[in-house]
Structure formats: structure tokens, C-alpha cells
């Protein structure tokens, strides 16, 4: 699975960025193949950069010092373009990701604006990855809070209601987390009062 950016069409040249999670050199070649297979035609350039945490040479991974951040880029004939993607990965502190920006050349030279398109699309997919990670963390937190609430409610002899988070966005998830924490605090106080009054 990968993240795909919007398309930028400028003077018949088409730009699209793809981000796919990677954690090894082997993942890089497999990820590039997946992206190529998803495209209906071969791009003129497939500019790429990656950044992931990997093992240092001759290390086995038992110590934190055994790891390093591995980075590289490939211009694929679009001189200086790969470095621009790597800069976006570094500036956004995005790890364990490969970005490929595909360009289908339209026959008209674009000049430096092509680099801005490459950077903009790279930033877009990095932001989308971060948003997805934030949603995943929010769902995990909500599930944990729901389990705690269900546990306290059952101790209070209250009925538990099933919840679904199918149609919420990040902002709503943050409001729900706040609400669930408040609910849990109230229920814990009720349980504490119940235990005290039973003594």
C-alpha cells in the first residue's frame, strides 16, 4: 500500500508523488516495483529518495548504537531533483519511507519550477503519512480508553454500549479522546464512592 499525491500538470508535464513505507534496502526495490506496476505508462523520470532506520554494517541490533538513519536519493536523469526529495524527508523528520516523484515530460522545458512541484508533492505525501500515523495512534488510544470504560462500567453494574469509529477524522478523534478521558474519570469517582459506601 502506498500514498499517492494529487497530480500537477504544468505545460504538458505531469508530476505525481508516491510514498511507501520501507525499513530495509530490500524494501526499496520491492516498493519501486509496486509503484511502477501501478502506473499505466512509464514516466520519463522516477526521481526518488528514502530515509529509514537500519542496522549499521556488521551489527546485529542488540544495542541502540547498532542502528543508523540510512538515506539516499536518485535523480533518474532529472539533475538535482532527488536531493530535493531527501531534503523534504529530513525537514519533516519522516522516517521509514521511500518517496518516488514520477514525471511524464510534456516536451516543454519547465526550468526551476519543476523542483518546486517535486518538493510540494513530496511534502504532501509526507504530511499524509503523518496524518495516517496520527489517526492510527488515536484509534489505539480510543480503543484502550473504551476497554477501561467498559471495565469500570461493568464493575458499576452498568450496560456497555458498542462504539464505532468508522467515519471520524483526526479532529473528531481528538475530541473523543478528551471526552472518553472525562467519562473514565467520572466513572472511576463513582466506583470509588461505591466502594467507600460498601465499607
Half-sphere exposure of 104 (CA within 13 A, CB side): 12
What pLDDT is recorded for position 96?
92
Q: Which domains does the chain have, with CATH numbers?
A: 3-127 (3.30.230.30), 133-198 (no CATH)
Q: Which pLDDT does position 92 carry in this prediction?
A: 92
Model confidence pLDDT, tens digit, residues 49-89 = 999 988 888 888 788 788 889 999 999 999 999 999 999 99
Measure the CA–CA gap between 92 and 103, rounded to whole angstroms: 23
CB atoms within 10 A of CB 185: 10
Cα(50)–Cα(86) distance, integer angstroms: 7
Which residues does the chain have with pLDDT short of 50? none
Under a CB-based contact definition with an 8 Å cutoff, are residues 187 and 154 in contact? no
What's the predicted TM-score (pTM) here? Answer: 0.73
Q: How far apart are CA 27 and CA 143, in angstroms?
A: 31
Amino acid at each position: 500500500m502506498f500514498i499517492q499525491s494529487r497530480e500537477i500538470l504544468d505545460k504538458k508535464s505531469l508530476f505525481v508523488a508516491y510514498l511507501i513505507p520501507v525499513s530495509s534496502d530490500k524494501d526499496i526495490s520491492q516498493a519501486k516495483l509496486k509503484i511502477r506496476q501501478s502506473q499505466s505508462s512509464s514516466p520519463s523520470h522516477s526521481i526518488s529518495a528514502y530515509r529509514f532506520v537500519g542496522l549499521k554494517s556488521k551489527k546485529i541490533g542488540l544495542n541502540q548504537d547498532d542502528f543508523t538513519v540510512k538515506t539516499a536519493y536518485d535523480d533518474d536523469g532529472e539533475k538535482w531533483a532527488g536531493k530535493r526529495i531527501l531534503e523534504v524527508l529530513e525537514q519533516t523528520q519522516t522516517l521509514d519511507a521511500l518517496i518516488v516523484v514520477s514525471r511524464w515530460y510534456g516536451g516543454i522545458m519547465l526550468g526551476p519550477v519543476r523542483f518546486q512541484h517535486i518538493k510540494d508533492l513530496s511534502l504532501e505525501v509526507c504530511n499524509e503519512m503523518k496524518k495516517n500515523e496520527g489517526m492510527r495512534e488515536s484509534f489505539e488510544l480510543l480503543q484502550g480508553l473504551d476497554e477501561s470504560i467498559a471495565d469500570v462500567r461493568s464493575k458499576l453494574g452498568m450496560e456497555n454500549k458498542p462504539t464505532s469509529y468508522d467515519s471520524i477524522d483526526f479532529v473528531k478523534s481528538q475530541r473523543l479522546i478528551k471526552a472518553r478521558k472525562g467519562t473514565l474519570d467520572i466513572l472511576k469517582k463513582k466506583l470509588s464512592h461505591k466502594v467507600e459506601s460498601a465499607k
